[in-house]
Amino acid sequence: MKKTYFGTDGIRGKVGQFPVTAEFILKLGWAVGRVLAKGHGSHVLIGKDTRISGYMFESALQAGLSAAGVDIRLLGPMPTPAIAYLTRTFHARAGIVISASHNPYYDNGIKFFSAQGTKLPDEVELAIEAALAEPMETVDSAHLGKAERILDAGGRYIEFCKSTIPNSVELNGLKVVVDCANGATYRIAPSVFQELGAQVISTGVKPDGLNINANCGSIHPEQVQQLVLEHQADVGIALDGDGDRVVMVDSKGELLDGDELIYIIARHRANRAELGGIVVGTVMSNLGLEHALTEIGLQLKRAAVGDRHVLEVLRKGGWILGGESSGHIICLEHTTTGDGIIAALQILAAMVQTGRSLHDIKQGMRKYPQHMINIATVDGKNVIAHPQVKRAVIDAENALANKGRVLLRPSGTEPLVRVMVEGIDAAQVKQVALQIADVVTAATVDGVS
């Protein structure tokens, strides 16, 4: 069955436009209570980022869950991965995150974690949607859910983050710039690094409900790059609004994306044979990562785009490290979802244990030039299957030989086909991408879509 409301990562949209309305979120809370939290004594955690609409949706979810007879534990502003962790440790039936991640303040969304701290499977999301179609009924007053606020949630998560690196690793002497994107990590992230001994220069730690992700954080790392150079810092860490992704900056002001961070973690752990020979990326992971991993005896397995799909491949294969170019990095021996703070700690631990700078330990991976073109179409799958398009892809792959790759995929969120080409020669990559894009556009105009 096709889902009506749930996208690749919960429900998300512009505040005030259906389904991101107070009325719908009230009903959603009730439906979630019906599906996920049946039984006496069950409870659900609710956390949020710092955008202003979080107050409204927190109250709406609370009312809906209470009407379904479910107790609520309120966490307040809390990183998405913290909610996944706390859902497990509190033995909650589910964790609910009110966040639109890296989107601007005027967007918001709801995403869910199971009792195991993982994203909900499709069948559960479909069950919630089925409950949404039913009339909302309130349980007897004696059985209404109660709410309480968890006051030490932040401290619990800080201690957990610190526990993910060896006790012998101290950050004393490291000067670290941390950009919290005026989001959910604004209190937690600086504390984690300070308590481990680092000298922390914080930015993006004054949320006002409207400035989340605004010219800051992992989407706009220019501020961190500038501050690293100004303060002659050893490293910069840029998180997004809900803390599940990270990019970093070395002492020379050079930016490292998720692929480069995954490589550093993999190479450091490969020395201790912890990875089982496999690192999981996505179809968008840079070919340079694949080749660099091969050189150190590891294989890259590619999943569909989305940390949810990365997690599925990790769990099925029994592997522990995976992620995306965007900075969603999963260290599965520690956590069940992308976690920007924990990923950054693994990088800092590698620096301390090797006695080398971030600029030095990133050497060994060369990112290949990549060119992407988006083409509007309402039926991407049929366009990609068109004989002329398939022929163009084969020709392109032959031209690139084993020094590049081609990827065509329909967008999961927009009526687009994404044409991506990468290889060693930037000029050739761009030319090949334009050639394929012309064929895709012609197929679209011919009425395929």
Read off the pLDDT of residues 360-381 as tens digits, 9 standing for 90 and up.
999 999 999 999 999 998 888 8
Cα–Cα distance, 97 to 9 (Å, whole number): 11
| CATH number of the domain residue 193 falls in | 3.40.120.10
Closest residue by Cα to residue 284 from 441, 436, 439, 409: 409
In angstroms, the Cα distances linking 287 to 155, 277, 300, 367, 407 are 40, 18, 10, 7, 11
Residue 346 — φ and ψ, nearest 5°? -65, -35
Q: With respect to residue 306, please indicate whether it lies within any of the assigned structural domains.
A: yes
Instruction: Establish how many alpha carbons lie within 13 A of residue 14's alpha carbon, considering only the half-sphere containing its beta carbon.
Output: 1
CB 285 within 8 A of CB 302: yes
pLDDT for residue 414 is more than 90: no
Q: With respect to residue 105, please indicate whether it lies within any of the assigned structural domains.
A: yes
Per-residue confidence at 447, pLDDT binned at 50, 70, 90? low
Instruction: Establish how many alpha carbons lie within 13 A of residue 101's alpha carbon, considering only the half-sphere containing its beta carbon.
Output: 21
Q: With respect to residue 98, please indicate whether it lies within any of the assigned structural domains.
A: yes
Residues 319 and 187 in one domain: yes
Looking at the DSSP bridge assignments, the partners of residue 279 are 300
pLDDT for residue 57 is more than 60: yes
Residues 287 and 330 in one domain: yes
Each residue of 182-236: pLDDT tens digit? 999 999 999 999 999 999 999 999 999 999 999 999 999 999 999 999 999 999 9
Q: With respect to residue 1, please indicate whether it lies within any of the assigned structural domains.
A: no
Residues 51 and 82 in one domain: yes
Closest residue by Cα to residue 119 from 258, 363, 271, 315: 315
Q: With respect to residue 3, please indicate whether it lies within any of the assigned structural domains.
A: no
CB 238 within 8 A of CB 248: yes
Catalytic residue among 53, 66, 101, 202: 101
Q: With respect to residue 2, please indicate whether it lies within any of the assigned structural domains.
A: no
Residues 355 and 394 in one domain: no
Number of domains in the chain: 3
In angstroms, the Cα distances linking 67 to 34, 40, 142 are 10, 14, 11
Residues 426 and 302 in one domain: no
Q: With respect to residue 430, please indicate whether it lies within any of the assigned structural domains.
A: yes
Residue ranges making up the domain that contains 431: 370-445
Q: Say what the pTM is.
A: 0.93
Residues 382 and 320 in one domain: no
Residues 216 and 336 in one domain: yes
Of 303, 326, 361, which residue is a domain's last?
361
Closest residue by Cα to residue 358 from 224, 182, 220: 224
Q: With respect to residue 5, please indicate whether it lies within any of the assigned structural domains.
A: no
Cα–Cα distance, 306 to 105 (Å, whole number): 22
| CATH number of the domain residue 400 falls in | 3.30.310.50
Quick check: is 59 catalytic?
no
